[in-house]
Amino acid sequence: MISSFLMVGQSNMAGRGYLKDVPQIYDEQIKMLVNGRWQTMTEPINYDRPTAGIGLAASFAGAWRLANESDQIGLIPCADGGSSLDDWAVDGVLFEHAVFQARLAQRTSKLSGILWHQGENDSFAGRSAVYYDKLSVIVAALRAELGVSDIPFIAGGIGDFLSGGRYGAYFTEYNEVNQALQKYANEMANAFFVTATGLGANADGLHFDAVSQRKFGIRYFESFSKKNSVLAPLATEDDLLNKIQKRPLTKTENAALLEISFASGELSLQDFEEQLTVLNEL
């Protein structure tokens, strides 16, 4: 059965890394939920805005596959850019949507973890002071609604670059939010914190760049697999990313990518058929 993971939070969980900046991750055993059904993952996974791009979930899934070569993983995209904890309040539309999507996924998968990244929109006007309490209510309700009381909850930190970016004067309480996230991980069962130390941003100084998102996903998987918080960059990040991004594709996967290129207008019919013929002769 597919092991599935719920993706929740705001834009840095959805992903805003530029698609052109990193090699794609394509693996038929990595699925994403679309219209209640599983299909092979392509990025953007979480298309919440026209600016959606590379997030952390693809490399998380790639790392999961390195450790589970014969199994499938499924991603349930439910993050929404610009959302605050109030937007994620229990019985609100984002909360209900995430529960609905996760329940659909549970019909054909085992829900194995909740991946969370959110906090920028609670980093001002004193909102950080109640972050811990609000998050506690939301996570407890998610677990209860989905019948997974002991499911791992993994939350990533806000990047240090936030204070110096275009919106730095606005998000003045990001350190306090990070502290609240770490406190939650320290005090709650099966909750873990993943540091953003050393990760960089797009030119906006708000969103993690694509390379950093790939590394972030590796850290999230390390946290999930070891059932522990990750408080420093991992020495193995680059090696693991190379293995994930340079994984030899199967003939079926190569054919599927050719089909995507043709259907999206990147290949002419003649080029598509010629390349497909060459592939089939291998």
Whether 17 and 118 map to the same domain: the answer is yes
Report the Cα 81 to chain-centroid distance in Å: 13
**pLDDT digit string, tens, across residues 189-230:** 999 999 999 999 999 999 999 999 999 999 999 999 999 999
Angle at 83 (CA atoms; ends 77, 86), nearest 5 degrees:
115
| CATH at residue 111 | 3.40.50.1110
Whether 14 and 86 map to the same domain: the answer is yes
Structural domain of residue 240, as residue ranges? 2-246
**pLDDT digit string, tens, across residues 53-105:** 999 999 999 999 999 999 999 999 999 999 999 999 999 999 999 999 999 99
Long-range contacts of 257-263 (CB under 8 A, 24+ apart): 257/26, 260/42
Whether 210 and 265 map to the same domain: the answer is no
Whether 216 and 269 map to the same domain: the answer is no
**Mean of per-residue pLDDT scores for the chain:** 97
Whether 103 and 49 map to the same domain: the answer is yes
Whether 99 and 225 map to the same domain: the answer is yes
> Above 90 in pLDDT, residue 169?
no
DSSP bridge pairs for 77: 7
Contact 53, 202 (CB under 8 A): no
Whether 166 and 282 map to the same domain: the answer is no
Give the total number of structural domains in the chain: 2
Whether 172 and 88 map to the same domain: the answer is yes
Global pTM value? 0.97
Whether 127 and 238 map to the same domain: the answer is yes
Whether 252 and 203 map to the same domain: the answer is no
Whether 18 and 116 map to the same domain: the answer is yes
Whether 227 and 137 map to the same domain: the answer is yes
